Amino acid sequence: MKKILVAIVLIIIGFPFFLKNSPALEQEIPLHNESVHNGELILVNKETKLQQDPTNLAVIPSNLASNVVVDSEYLLEKKVIEPLQKMFEQAANDGIHHFKINSAYRSGNLQQQLYEENGASYALPTGYSEHQSGLSLDIGSTQGTMEKTLEGEWLAKNAADYGFILRYPKNKVDVTGIAFEPWHFRYVGLPHSVMMEKKNFALEEYLLFLKEKRHYKKQIKGITYYVQYVENMEVAHIPNTDQVNISGDNHTGYIITSVIN
């Protein structure tokens, strides 16, 4: 009897917390036109092949920011360019002035050429490189290698605030299967980048976390995000909002990110 009473008390205490962290899901959105192989959170690695080429590429402007050298016609998904610009502008405000973009989107043909000419230690075969997604870029410093410069230090500390992650950290080689690359940054968007940094997750670990947890709420700089992971559904129920983003994971599920009041 005592155990039952304790359980009831815990339920009573925890129920308001559950309500607080689970907004009413009053809005229905269709998923049948969405693809699990498209979006900011798709996984591309040695075991998981890119299934869809990017469809909305744009040229990174040569005048992107005063502290960045862009000396080739590099492409990225269009939605990535604005947060990238804001990130560099903030770095300039913080006194960091010597960035250089060294690579961004690569076509399948170029990726295969790099693989065949330089080997697996330099590039992955076509279909298995994040560069083909249009969501990744290599950022360098004109002052030296990234792990030894202020540019690399600043990005490691601040990139997550703008939706970017250091895709291949030194302490996650066993997870990613890729050696430390302090120059390779991947856009995943907010709040995902911040949550990954907080929990010290590589993208592979974060997607597993989402599949297990299924939903969470996160506030960043006054904006509240509600994140849901769903599988095998033609419709999903989300909070009432007109700000929603749907991304596949490149496997079987969707990550739905809503901005709520």
In order along its 261 residues, the chain shows pLDDT tens digits of 444 444 444 444 444 444 456 799 999 999 999 999 999 999 999 999 999 999 999 999 999 999 999 999 999 999 999 999 999 999 999 999 999 999 999 999 989 998 888 887 778 889 999 999 999 999 999 999 999 999 999 999 999 999 999 999 999 999 999 999 999 999 999 999 999 999 999 999 999 999 999 999 999 999 999 999 999 999 999 999 999 999 999 999 999 999 997
Query: Sign of dihedral through CA atoms 190, 42, 60, 172?
Result: positive
The tally of domains found in the chain comes to: 2
Note whether 102 and 207 are same-domain residues. no
The pTM for the full model equals 0.90
Residue type, 210: L
Strand partners, 68: 99
Domain residue limits at 196: 23-41+189-261
Known catalytic residue at 181 = yes
Residue at 67 is within a domain:
yes
Strand partners, 138: 103, 184
DSSP 161-175: GGTEEESS-GGGHHH
Among residues 147, 153, 181, 197, the one annotated as catalytic is 181
Tokens 């998981």 found at: 48
Note whether 168 and 195 are same-domain residues. no
What span, in angstroms and rounded, lies between the C-alpha atoms of 177 and 49? 14
Note whether 175 and 229 are same-domain residues. no
State the virtual CA torsion across 166, 168, 173, 179 in degrees, nearest 10.
-140
Q: From residue 135, give the alpha-carbon distance in Å to each of 81, 210, 215, 254.
A: 10, 20, 24, 17
Residue at 69 is within a domain:
yes
Note whether 97 and 164 are same-domain residues. yes
H-helix segments, 72-171: 78-93, 108-118, 150-158
